[in-house]
Structure 1
Amino acid sequence: MSERLYRSNENRMLLGVCGGIAERLDLDPTMVRLAFVLFAIMGGTALLAYLVMALVIPRNPALTAGPSMRAIQQSPPPGGRSMDRD
């Protein structure tokens, strides 16, 4: 397995740990979050594990532009003038 585990930029609710695990294991992020909640209710160590993973797992360096960011990137600047200098 050559893929690394990263915190997710797209499937994040708090710090992207569950989303990153879900992306790495090709699972639904909601199921991973529910598993963390169940473990937290049962034993309480899931919260500590989440915080440790948030510190240890790096954030995904590949920032992809979501639909809202694409709309911002494609919209003209205020005043309708181009940002290019002639």
Structure 2
Amino acid sequence: MNKKLYRSKQNKTIAGVCGGLAEHLGWDADKLRIGYVVLSVLSAAFPGLLVYLVLWFVIPENPAQV
């Protein structure tokens, strides 16, 4: 398994972070987004917005997708 992690251009709502993670892990993107939001809202120790922004700038956009 030598897949590289990219932000998705096709399956994105804001920046493609959750879509890219879902493609990389083979999960459903909508379920991953819902889980991420629930975890962010319910957990005071998980700074969801900050983590999303960092991932947005760290994970490159997929150059192969149109």
TM-score w.r.t. length of structure 2: 0.89
TM-score w.r.t. length of structure 1: 0.69
Partner of 1:32: 32
Partner of 1:5: 5
Structure 1 vs Structure 2 CA RMSD: 1.1
Taking only the aligned residue pairs, the percentage that are identical comes to 44
Partner of 1:48: 50
The count of residues paired between Structure 1 and Structure 2 equals: 64
Partner of 1:62: 64
| 1:42 shift after superposition | 1.3
The residue type equivalent to 2:3 in the other structure is: E
Partners of 2:50 and 2:7 in 1: CA distance: 16
Larger radius of gyration: 1
3-state secondary structure, aligned to 2:41: helix
| 1:47 shift after superposition | 1.3
Asked if structure 2 preserves the Cα contact closer than 8 Å seen for 1:39 and 1:45, the reply is no
Per-residue deviation, residues 4-49 of structure 1 (Å, max 9, x unmatched) = 1000011000000000000000110001100111111012511111
Identify which of structures 1 and 2 has the higher relative contact order when contacts are C-alpha pairs closer than 8 Å and 6+ apart: 2
Runs of 4+ in 1 over 2 A off after TM superposition: none
Partners of 2:12 and 2:33 in 1: CA distance: 10
Q: Which runs of 5+ in 2 are unaligned?
A: none
